[in-house]
Structure 1
Amino acid sequence: MKKNNIVLVGGGSTWTPGILKAMTTHLEEFALNKVVLYDIDEDRQEVIGEFAKILFKEEAPDVEVVYTTDKNIAYTDVDFVFCQMRTGGFNMREKDEKTPLSLGVIGQETCGAGGFAYGLRSIRDMVEMVKEVRRLSPEAWILNYTNPAAIVALALDKIFPEEERILNICDQPVNLLRSYSKLINHDVNDLEPVYFGLNHFGWFTNIFDETGKDRAPELKEIITTGGFKPVDAEQRDQSWLETYAVVKDMLIDFPDYLPNTYLQYYLYPEYKLSQLNPEKTRTDEVREGREKKVFEECRRIVANGTARDSKVVHNDAHGDMMVEVAASIANNLRKTFVVIVKNNGIISNLPNDSMVEVAASLGANGPAPYAVGEIGTFYKGLIENQYAFEKLTVEAYIEESYGKALQALTLNRTIVDAKKARQVLDALIKDNKEYWPELR
C-alpha cells in the first residue's frame, strides 16, 4: 500500500487534533509517509504542531510530521490536501453572527447573511490555494471542508471548470447518520443513506441497513415521539443540543424525509431569530468551550510529553470522515459517502450546473453519484431558491457586483426583505473591507 503525503490546511484549527488522531487510528486503511500542518497563524499552529509531533511519535513513529507557515513547503509533493480554512478567524466569524443580528436578521456562521459574508471571504483564499497546489503538486487530491461549502464548491466549479481532483465534503450528514445509528442501536457502517439537496440544505429519503430494510420510518417515529440528540451529546455545547432538538419540529411539519439540522434556519427564520442572543453567539460559545478546552489540552500534552492519557483528543465524525474519504480514493474502495458534486441530471428537475449534495461511491477516479430523479414541488422550490442565492453570491464575487450581492441576500429565506438586505449588505461591506473585492 502506498504511503501518502498529506497537508492539512488550517493546521491551527481546533478540529485538527481530531483529524490527526483519526489518521493514527486508520493507518491500516490509509498509510502515511508525511503529515504537514499549514496555517498562517504561527502561534495557533505551534501549539497544535507540537501536539502532533508527540501524538505521532507515540502512535505512528514512522510518519514524518512538519508544521509550517510557508506554502511552498506545505504544498510540495503532496498526495492529499485536507482543507479547513477559516478566513478572518474567529474575529470575523463573530461579526458574521453579530452584525446581522444587530439588524434584525439571523446571524449564523454558514447560513443567511453570515454565510454570505464568510463565503465571499473564503472564495479568495480557496482560489489561491488551488492555484498554489496545482503549481507544486499537480496531481494532488484537494478534499475541501472549508465553509460555507455550498458557496465554495460552486465558486471552485465556476473558476476551475476542468478540475477533476477537488472534492467538497461536509461532516453534518455523517454526524446525523451516527446519531441515527445510536437511536436504532445499529452499526453506522452498515447503514446506506439516500440523500439529496444542497450543502446544509438537504434531506435523507431512506436509511437502508445491511438487509435492505429502510430504517427511515422507524427513525421518524422515534424522533417525533422522543426527540433527537447528537450521538456525542455529552460533548456538545448547548446551542448544538437545541439545534438537534428542532429536528422533531421539522419532522412533525414536513414528515416526508429526515432533514439536515441547518434547514431550521430557513424553515423557521422568525423562531430561530427569537432564540439567538446578539450579545452572545455561537462564536462566544466556541471560544469559551471547544477552543479553550482543545488548546489547554494540547498545551498540557506538550508540557507532559505524552498524549496517551488524553480523554479530550479523540477522532470524531469530522476526523474519521476526512481520513475515510481519502482512503476510499487512494485505495479505490468505492465506499459510499454523501458528497457535493455537479448535478448534471442527478436530480433531474434541478439545474445541471447546481452543486448538489448526494450519496456517491468514491474511488480512484473520484465520486460516482447515485441518481435521485425528480423531487417534489416543495423541495424543488426550496432548493431552487437557495441555489439562486448561492449562484448570485458567487457571481457577485466574480463580477464584483453590488447589485448581484443585493439580489442574493434579498432571495435568502432568512432575510427576504430588500430594504433589510441592503442594510445588511452595507454593514457587511464595512466589516469585510479587508477581505472582499470592492462591490460596485
Structure 2
Amino acid sequence: MKLAVVGGGSTYTPELIDGFARLRDTLPIEELVLVDPAADRLELVGGLARRIFAKQGHPGRIVTTSDVDAGVADADAVLLQLRVGGQAARNQDETWPLECGCVGQETTGAGGLAKALRTVPVVLDIAERVRRTNPNAWIIDFTNPVGIVTRALLQAGHKAVGLCNVAIGFQRKFARLLDVAPGQVHLDHVGLNHLTWETGVRLGGPEGEDVLPALLEQHGDAVAEDLHMPRAIVDRLGVVPSYYLRYYYQHDAVVEELRTKPSRASEVAEMERTLLEMYGDPALDEKPELLAKRGGAFYSEAAVDLAASLLGGGGSPYQVVNTANNGTLPFLPDDAVIEVQASVDGKGARPLAVPRLDPLFAGLIANVTGYEDLALDAALRGGRDRVFKALLAHPLIGQYAYAEQLTDSLIAHNREHLAWA
C-alpha cells in the first residue's frame, strides 16, 4: 500500500506519522511519500518521520519529494494538508477583517473566504495530477476550508472525502467524561464543516442509548469551558455546538477578544520555528509534546481510520466525514457538502439518516451553504463582484458597507495568489 501526503513538510506531519506507526495493523503502509515544495522543511520532517518509524518498528519506507507527479504516482490514497501562503497569509486572514468589526479567522468569515480563494485552484490542480497518474486513488482532504474544498473536488469528479478532527476530539473528550472506551461513543454529529452540533451522544452505535442529557447535566461546566462559551448557551441549546459556533453566537465579544491579543497565526509561526529546530535533532525519534499545542489533536487516528475504510481495510464502520448531501438534509441541494456520520467503505461515504433538525440549526446551515455556493463560484471563476456577493451572503458579515470594504481588503492582501486579480 502506498500513501502520499501533499503538504508533507507541515509541522503537523509527525502527528500523522506517529499514528501511521502505532496503527500499522489497521493501515499497513508499505511506502509513504511526503510531498512539499519547501525542501528545507521537508528534509527536517522527513528525517524525524523515518526515525519515528524506526523506533516503533514500522517496516514501511518513507520517501520525500518536491515533485507532485512523482509523489502521487501509483498511490492508493493521497492526503491533502496544504496551506497556500503559509502562516503569513493566515496572519492576514486573522487581522484585516477586524478593521471593520468582523471576526478574523482562517476558516470562516472573510478570512475563510480568502483561504478558499487561494486554496481551491491549487487543490484542483493537484487532484488533476492525481487523476492523470492514478485515477483510482482516493483523495482525503484535510485542507481548510474542508467543506468548500471537498465540494470543489467532488464537483470536478474526483474520488474525494473531507476530514476534520472536531468530531473525533468530541468523541475522545466525551469518552473520558463518561469513562468508556472511545469506540463506544457514537456522535449524532450534523452540520457543515466548522458549523456542527452534537445532537446526541450514543453508547455502542447509531441505535444506542442517547446519554447527552445526562452528560450535560453532570459535566456541562467542563464541556462549556472547552468550548470557551458560557454554560448557559449549551444548556439552552440542549446540544453541544462546535467551538467554531462561538464566532456566531458571541461574534462581537470574540472580535473584541481578538483585537486585544496576538493572532493565532503569529503564535503558531513561533511554535513552528521551535518545532522545526527540534525536528532537526537527530536524537529526536518521537513527536514532541509541543506538537500537541500546534492543533490537530487525534488527526492521525481519524486519518488512519478513514484511509483504512476507503482502502478496504479495518476502519470503523461509521465515521464523521465531509461528503455530498444527496438528500440527507432535505433543505440543502444534493451537491452541498455536509459533515455527518457516514457509513464508509471502499465505495466511499454514505451519510446516515438525520432526524429533522431544529430550525435554529437548519436555518444557519442553509444560510452558510448559500455562502459556500457563492464562495466556490468565486474561487473557480474569480472576479470582484463574485467575492463581494459571497461576503454579503455570509451571516458573519451581511452588510453592504462591510462587504465592500472587505472585498477590497481581501483582494489587496491576496493579489499574489489570485490569478484573476
| 2:176 counterpart SS class | helix
From 151, 166, 180, the counterpart of 2:160: 166
Match of 1:344 among 326, 331, 352: 326
Supply the distance in 2 between the matched residues of 1:214 and 1:433 (Cα, whole angstroms): 49
Q: Secondary structure at the match of 1:52?
A: helix
Q: Please tell me whether the aligned partners of residues 35 and 64 of structure 1 are also in contact (alpha carbons under 8 angstroms).
A: yes
Equivalent position of 2:285 in the other structure:
307
Match for residue 307 of structure 2?
326
Deviations 1:97-119 (A, max 9, x none): 11112332110010101100001
Which of 183, 186, 194 is the aligned partner of 1:189? 183
How far, CA to CA, are the matches of 1:6 and 1:353 in structure 2?
A: 28
Identity of aligned residues (%): 29
CA drift of 1:227 comes to 4.7
Report the CA distance shift for 1:312/1:100 in structure 2 as closer, same or farther (over 3 A).
Answer: closer
Q: Among 245, 248, 256, which residue is 2:231 paired with?
A: 248
Residue 349 of structure 1 contacts residue 373 of structure 1 at CA under 8 Å; is this kept in 2? no
Contact 1:193 1:359 in 2 (8 A): yes
Deviations 1:339-392 (A, max 9, x none): 111111111233222111110121111112101143222222111111111110
Q: In the alignment, which of 28, 44, 56 is matched to residue 31 of structure 1?
A: 28
Match of 1:140 among 121, 137, 143: 137
State the distance in 2 between where 1:310 and 1:425 align.
Answer: 40
| Residue range with higher mean Cα deviation, 221-230 or 423-432 | 221-230
**Residue 387 to residue 67, structure 1, CA distance change in 2 (3 Å):** same
Q: 1:313: Cα distance to partner?
A: 6.3
Structure-to-structure mapping, 1:3-402, within 5 angstroms: 4-158=1-155, 160=156, 162-163=157-158, 165-210=159-204, 212-228=208-224, 244-246=227-229, 248-255=231-238, 257-277=239-259, 280-289=262-271, 291-300=272-281, 302=282, 304=283, 306-307=284-285, 311=289, 316-333=297-314, 335-402=317-384
Report the alpha carbon displacement of residue 332 of structure 1 after superposing the two structures with TM. Answer: 4.7
Match of 1:419 among 385, 401, 404: 401
SS at 2:197's partner residue?
A: strand
Distance of aligned partners of 1:229 and 1:19 in 2 relative to their CA distance in 1, 3 Å threshold: farther
Query: How far off its partner does 1:323 sit?
Result: 1.1
CA deviation vs aligned residue, 1:391-420 (integer Å, no higher than 9, x gap): 101112223232222121112122221111
Distance 1:43 1:278 in 2: 34
Relative distance call for 1:226 and 1:358 in structure 2 (3 A) is: closer
- What letter is aligned with 2:257? Q
Q: Is contact 2:391–2:397 with CA below 8 Å preserved after alignment?
A: yes
Alpha-carbon distance in 2 for matches of 1:226, 1:27: 34
Measured at CA, do residues 115 and 345 of structure 1 come closer, stay the same or move farther in structure 2, by a change above 3 Å?
same
Judge conservation of contact 2:370–2:393 (CA < 8 Å) in 1.
yes
User: Cα distance, 1:296 vs. partner?
Assistant: 3.1
Deviations 1:165-199 (A, max 9, x none): 21111111111221122222221111111121111
> Quick one: distance in 2 between partners of 1:316 and 1:111?
20
Between 1:33-42 and 1:147-156, the stretch displaced more is 147-156
Amino acid of the structure 1 residue aligned with 2:55: E
The alignment's TM-score, normalised by the length of structure 2, stands at: 0.93
How many residue pairs are counted as aligned between the two chains? 415
Q: Which amino acid aligns with 1:252?
A: D
Q: Against the structure 1 CA distance between its residues 249 and 17, is the aligned structure 2 distance closer, same or farther, given a 3 Å change threshold?
A: farther
**Residues 76 and 155 (structure 1 numbering): CA distance in 2 closer, same or farther, change over 3 Å?**
same
Q: Aligned equivalents of 1:309 and 1:433: distance in 2?
A: 36
Q: Distance in 2 between matches of 1:405 and 1:357?
A: 24
Determine the C-alpha separation between the residues in 1 that align with 2:386 and 2:43.
41
Conserved? CA contact 1:191–1:208, under 8 Å = yes
How far, CA to CA, are the matches of 2:358 and 2:77 in structure 1?
38
Judged with a 3 Å threshold, the aligned counterparts in structure 2 of structure 1 residues 61 and 345 are, in CA distance, closer, same or farther, namely closer
Instruction: Give me the whole-angstrom Cα distance separating, in 2, the residues matched to 1:417 and 1:398.
Output: 24
CA distance in 1, matches of 2:390, 2:11: 31
Question: Quick one: structure 1 residues 204 and 247, their matched pair in 2 at CA, closer, same or farther if it must change by over 3 Å?
Answer: farther
Q: Mind listing any 5+ residue stretches in structure 2 that lack a counterpart?
A: none
Distance 2:290 2:253 in 1: 34
The change in CA–CA distance for 1:228 and 1:288 in structure 2 (over 3 A counts) is farther
1:115 alignment partner AA: G
Task: Say if 1:102 and 1:278, in contact at 8 Å, map to a contact too.
Answer: no
C-alpha separation between the residues in 2 aligned to 1:366 and 1:247? 38
Question: Relative to structure 1, is the Cα distance of residues 310 and 197 closer, same or farther in structure 2, using a 3 angstrom cutoff?
Answer: closer
TM-score, normalised on structure 1? Answer: 0.89
> Relative to 1, partners in 2 of residues 1:363 and 1:227: Cα closer, same or farther, differing over 3 Å?
closer
Distance (Å, rounded) in 2 between the aligned partners of 1:142 and 1:12 = 18
Runs (5+) with no aligned partner, structure 1: 231-243
> 2: CA distance between counterparts of 1:388 and 1:247?
29
Q: Is the 8 A contact 2:15 2:291 kept in 1?
A: yes
Distance 1:229 1:175, change over 3 A: farther
Which residue type is aligned with residue 142 of structure 1? I
Give 3-state SS (helix, strand or coil) of 1:361's partner.
strand
